[in-house]
């Protein structure tokens, strides 16, 4: 299985099945990344949030 690192790409589109959102996500390796941080994307007015550690951008697909 090919795993992505949290810093491979910077923009991710997620769906309701990915909630609660955290970075790094389960399909990313953790050894070279940052601690898991939960991101309250469902509370964001535009359903867009940026990880404070790696600046990855997440957009909740409606």
Show me where the domains of the chain are located.
7-60
> How much is the pLDDT for 9?
65
> How much is the pLDDT for 7?
56
Contact 39, 22 (CB under 8 A): yes
Kind plus residue range of the DSSP H or E element containing 24: none
> How much is the pLDDT for 32?
66
Low-confidence ranges of the chain (pLDDT < 50): 1
> How much is the pLDDT for 10?
83
> How much is the pLDDT for 31?
61
Contact 29, 3 (CB under 8 A): yes
The b/e string for 34-59 (b: 16+ C-beta within 10 A; e otherwise) is eeeeebebeeeeeeebbbeebebebe
> How much is the pLDDT for 1?
44
């Amino acid at each position: 299985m090919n795993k992505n690192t949290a810093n491979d790409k910077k923009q991710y589109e997620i769906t309701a099945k990915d909630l609660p959102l955290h970075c790094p996500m389960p399909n990313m390796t953790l050894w070279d990344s940052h601690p898991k941080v939960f991101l309250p994307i469902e509370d964001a007015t535009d359903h867009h949030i940026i990880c404070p550690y790696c600046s990855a951008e997440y957009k909740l697909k409606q």
